[in-house]
Amino acid sequence: MKVYQTNEIKNIALLGSKGSGKTTLAEAMLYECGVIKRRGTIDAKNTVSDYFPVEKEYGYSVFSTVFYAEFLGKKLNVIDCPGADDFVGSAITALSVTDTGLIVINGQYGVEVGTQNIFRTTASLKKPVIFAMNQLDGEKADYDNVLEQMKEIFGSKVVPIQYPLTCGPGFNAMIDVLLMKKYSWGPDGGVPTIEEIPAEEMEKAKELHQQLVEAAAENDETLMEKFFDQGHLTEDEMREGIRKGLVDRSIFPVFCVSAEKDMGVRRMMEFLGNVVPFVEDMPAPIDANGEEVKPDSNGPLSLYVFKTTVEPHIGEVSYFKVMSGTLTPGVDLENISRGSKERFAQINCVCGQIKTPADKLCAGDIGATVKMKDVRTGNTLNEKGCTYSYDDYIKYPAPKYQRAVRPVTESDAEKLSAILTRMHEEDPTWVVEQSKELKQTILSGQGEFHLRTLKWRVENNDKLAIVYEEPKIPYRETITKAARADYRHKKQSGGAGQFGEVHLIIEPYVEGEPVPDTYKFGGQEFKMNVRDTQEIPLDWGGKLVVHNCIVGGAIDARFIPAIVKGLMDRMEQGPLTGSYARDVRVCIYDGKMHPVDSNEISFRLAGRNAFSEAFRNANPKILEPVYDVDVMVPADVMGDVMSDLQGRRAIIMGMASENGFEKLSAKVPLKEMASYSTALSSITGGRSSFTMKFASYELVPSDVQEKLLKAYAEENNEE
């Protein structure tokens, strides 16, 4: 195929909510460009995009699909992204390596929560946006209402390029106010009939054309002056003004299409080819070292691997963007991220599962290669001497749904671990953690469907049966008052014995609070004389602070580290429920030792048991993780969502209106969030979304603590 230069390449992310029709639109785009001779359908399971078995099983996109189209002498690289909120990672990845977002709006249901979330991502990444209002042939299609909603949510920068003459099953014509022509189609769509605008539509068309001219002129002083002088712009001048407006995000054009009937798609493609910014029109990305990476074909060769996957009949495929330089087959590159070397035996342009060999790929282009030795998603590959690095180039949202996972057959644990590692490399929003604390493998994702998809793939592709369970909660234990205890460890069984006695006082640790000179217990005073202090920051949060207050050599200094180890034993497995303990201050003030029988193990055991006894007497409490939760919800189901949250022990922190939706902010215990994504989807019909972020550890209510203590006691009795 032809080699395209950087100034002939445009990269586009195809985005939108689930059910908006992106996969069908992708088929129409490929058909119009001559890439495919016949359009596939989702029902027939023969589309270019959804070619993985799991996608055919579920009937909608799970993975992003890369395809290219040669159109008007340009190369359009398009990444078709899943619409479900659970797979938002694919959309974020696609936007990070493309230059323009083409957001598909369902003309029947308007702007959905998922659409808003995607638009926010485009704003944070400063990417141009074009809207395609699809399904205008649907029974409930309402162009005017949806356009008004878009302007209300996305602002006055939303500018129609076209409007339909009628919506619903009769949709077959529209007015293009950029070209000032009428487009109409026969029942099978395809090539339009282009005519002059009817007289009855001319006034409306001229008004919208004038709005478009003004929006285009706003982005260029020369055009603005010409507009004021002449009152109009040429077609080429309008294209240039719109292109600059797209780069500045000061204009969001709206197109009308019926992807299923292939109406309006070719006209939209013409706009993509003629007006959408080229790679070199966009601001150059900044790498991890703060260096600007210009898309220069003559610059140092540098690639960013944005996706890896195992594909049917092919094996491992690595998708990359040429950030700088020109890539040719047979080149050797250094994997900066992993310290290895890779040879690119072949390079391909991609159209779904079809890979076409390429002679070279210039800066800004997107391609794929197969069977790399040691390449993972997010890796940087450079020619020798190039210092570019793209570590953490893409920022993914925090997970919001967790399950503990284990194989049905325990002996398959190692095999499952390898599969999950591979899955994470394919989709970084699948996060795997081997929790030492919970003694579980915790799998985190963006929602129930996200994790259900992984389970389907493991069981059907890898033939390994797995079980999902509700994960244990990482509770913490702490104390609320001071307590004293002593413990003597004594063991004599022939030969050398064991002896160690430790007296200690514990109390809650508060940052910056001094150690009291005197403690009182049972009418007796205990004076403290601090000789040495250890502050131990705990991996799980909080601190253990240990003061050595031994006087008169009651315990030799060499045994203090052993006592501290005993304390840490109990901090790692709290006396109440076996959870980690935190924020405790310990004063070791007395004890006894034996000249022959005392050793480190004796004092470790004495310290551990003295600490356990004191902990139980210090009014211990269980802490639970509490998360900040923000829910975006339509106003008509606000009350139901709020009631559900309150039933989850949530504290509502605030409410606000945001772009046509209500935003609920709350603090919710993690325990109550286990099934929240499923419940929220059920309550709102899938029209809501939420984010959650760890906030703090808080005391559990007394009734909850009693249940936890009882459950822990029963578990230990069974063991």
Q: Which residues of 119-130 are buried (b: 16+ CB within 10 A; e: fewer)?
A: bebbeeeebbbb
d(CA 213, CA 641): 44
Please state, for a pLDDT cut of 90, what percent of the chain lies above it. 67
Give the Cβ contact number of residue 522 at 10 Å. Answer: 5
DSSP 515: P
pLDDT (average), residues 19-26: 90
Q: How much is the mean pLDDT over the chain?
A: 91
What's the CATH superfamily of 302-382?
A: Translation factors (2.40.30.10)
CATH fold, domain 477-619, is Ribosomal Protein S5; domain 2 (3.30.230)
279 to each of 3, 386, 527, 664, how far by Cα in Å? 15, 21, 74, 39
- In this structure, the number of other CB atoms found within 10 A of the CB of residue 602 comes to 25
Nearest CA to 353 out of 310, 311, 306 is that of 311
* Predicted model pTM: 0.83
Quote the distance between the C-alpha of residue 181 and its chain's center. 43
**CATH code assigned to 401-472:** 3.30.70.870
Q: Among 344, 408, 423, 417, which residue's Cα sits nearest to residue 376?
A: 423
Q: Which phi and psi angles does 597 have, rounded to 5°?
A: -85, -15
For the beta carbon of residue 529, count every other beta carbon within 10 angstroms: 13
Residues 559-611: pLDDT tens digits? 999 999 999 999 998 888 889 999 999 999 999 999 888 899 999 999 999 99
Q: Which residues pair with 585 in a beta bridge?
A: 507, 545
CA distance 260 to 312: 27
Q: Which CATH architecture has domain 6-170+252-281?
A: 3-Layer(aba) Sandwich (3.40)
Tens digit of pLDDT for each residue in 168-212? 999 999 999 999 999 999 988 889 999 999 999 999 999 999 888
Helix (H) or strand (E) run with residue 377 in it = none
pLDDT in tens, 205-251: 999 998 888 888 887 777 777 666 666 677 777 888 889 999 999 99
| Chain Cα centroid distance, residue 28 | 29
Q: What is the mean pLDDT of residues 643-670?
A: 91
Q: How far apart are CA 589 and CA 582, in angstroms?
A: 21
| Equal CATH topology for 401-472 and 622-704 | yes
466 contacts: CB under 8 Å, gap ≥ 6: 405, 406, 407, 408, 416, 455, 458, 459
714 pLDDT tier (thresholds 50, 70, 90): confident
Using 50, 70 and 90 to split pLDDT, how confident is the model at 688? confident
How far is residue 160's CA from residue 5's CA, in Å, rounded to a whole number?
A: 32
Which pairing describes strands 580-581 and 476-478: parallel, antiparallel, or unpaired? Answer: parallel
Q: Determine the pLDDT at residue 559.
A: 95
- In residues, how long is the chain? 719
Q: Which secondary structure element, helix H or strand E, spans residue 421, and what is its range?
A: helix 413-426
- SS3 of 99-113: the string is CEEEEEEECCCECCH
Residue 494's pLDDT is 65
Which sign, positive or negative, has the C-alpha torsion 460, 464, 469, 475?
A: negative
Q: What is the rounded CA–CA span in Å between residue 685 and residue 201?
A: 38
Question: Where do the domains of the chain lie?
Answer: 6-170+252-281, 302-382, 401-472, 477-619, 622-704
pLDDT exceeds 80 at position 717 = no
- Give the model's confidence band at 11: pLDDT under 50 very low, under 70 low, under 90 confident, else very high: very high
- Find tokens 């052993």 and name the residue: 562
Beta bridge partners of 171: none
Class of domain 622-704: alpha beta
- Mean pLDDT, to the nearest integer, of 86-101? 93
Read off the amino acid at residue 229.
Answer: D
Query: Token pair for residue 542?
Result: 């909080």
Spell out where 408-512 has E strands. 431-435, 440-445, 466-469, 476-478, 483-491, 498-508
Mean pLDDT of 525-533: 92
